[in-house]
Amino acid sequence: MTVAVQRCTLPKEERLHGKKDIAFLLAKGKFRTCRRFRYCFIADNGLPYSRMMISVPKKLFKRAVKRNLLKRRIRESYRLQKNLFPENRGADILFIYNSREISCSRDVFSDVGQIIKDVSNEIRKD
pLDDT digits (tens, 9 = 90+) for 30-58: 999 999 999 999 988 888 889 999 999 99
Instruction: Calculate the alpha carbon distances from 71 to 4, 25, 77, 96, 117 in Å.
Output: 30, 20, 10, 10, 20
pLDDT (0 to 100) of residue 46? 85
Considering the domain boundaries, does residue 7 fall inside one? no
Considering the domain boundaries, does residue 5 fall inside one? no
Considering the domain boundaries, does residue 1 fall inside one? no
Considering the domain boundaries, does residue 4 fall inside one? no
Considering the domain boundaries, does residue 3 fall inside one? no
- Is pTM beyond 0.85? Reply is yes
Q: Does pLDDT of 3 surpass 80?
A: no
Considering the domain boundaries, does residue 6 fall inside one? no
CATH number at residue 110: 3.30.230.10
Considering the domain boundaries, does residue 69 fall inside one? yes
Instruction: Determine if residue 18 is left, alpha or beta; phi over 0 gives left, psi from -120 to 50 gives alpha, anything else beta.
Output: left
In the chain, how many domains are there?
Answer: 1
CA 82 – CA 121 distance, rounded (Å)? 14
Considering the domain boundaries, does residue 9 fall inside one? no
Q: Give residue 72's domain range.
A: 15-125
